Amino acid sequence: MSLKVYFKVASFVTIMALLYIHMQMKIFELSYNGKDKEKIIHQLNDSNGALSHQILTLESANNLGNQLLDHDNNSLQFMDNERVMKVMAPAKVEKPVWNMFSFLNRG
């Protein structure tokens, strides 16, 4: 084998080896970037869940009621027994004969 052919083969093999190493490095770089993005996505999903829970907690009826009743300048309050109006109605008078036929009133 002549020296000229040997250098051509050696140059070709060297260039191919460098291209192969470059491609392998790019593959590893892309995989590391993908893992980093996957971690970011998991962190965003976790924070999204936590924020959704906080929003639902703030919108809950208990929290809204507490906010309405806790303000000092607010005149809202629960109804007490003094403010409930009582209506007197006549007692219902039933005839004793109809009590025997109470099964007719069932639906």
pLDDT tens-digit readout, 6-64 = 999 999 999 999 999 999 999 999 999 999 999 999 999 999 999 998 888 888 888 77
pLDDT given at position 98 = 64
Where is pLDDT greater, at 90 or 7?
A: 7
Q: Both tokens of residue 66? A: 């507490």
Query: What is the distance between the alpha carbons of residues 80 and 76, in angstroms, rounded to a whole number?
Result: 12
pLDDT given at position 63 = 78
pLDDT given at position 93 = 65
pLDDT given at position 84 = 78
Residue type, 67: Q
Asked if residues 59 and 67 have their Cβ atoms less than 8 Å apart, the reply is no
Asked if residues 46 and 52 have their Cβ atoms less than 8 Å apart, the reply is no
pLDDT given at position 47 = 93
Query: What is the distance between the alpha carbons of residues 41 and 47, in angstroms, rounded to a whole number?
Result: 10
Calculate the CA 36 to chain-centre distance: 23
pLDDT given at position 46 = 93
pLDDT given at position 8 = 96
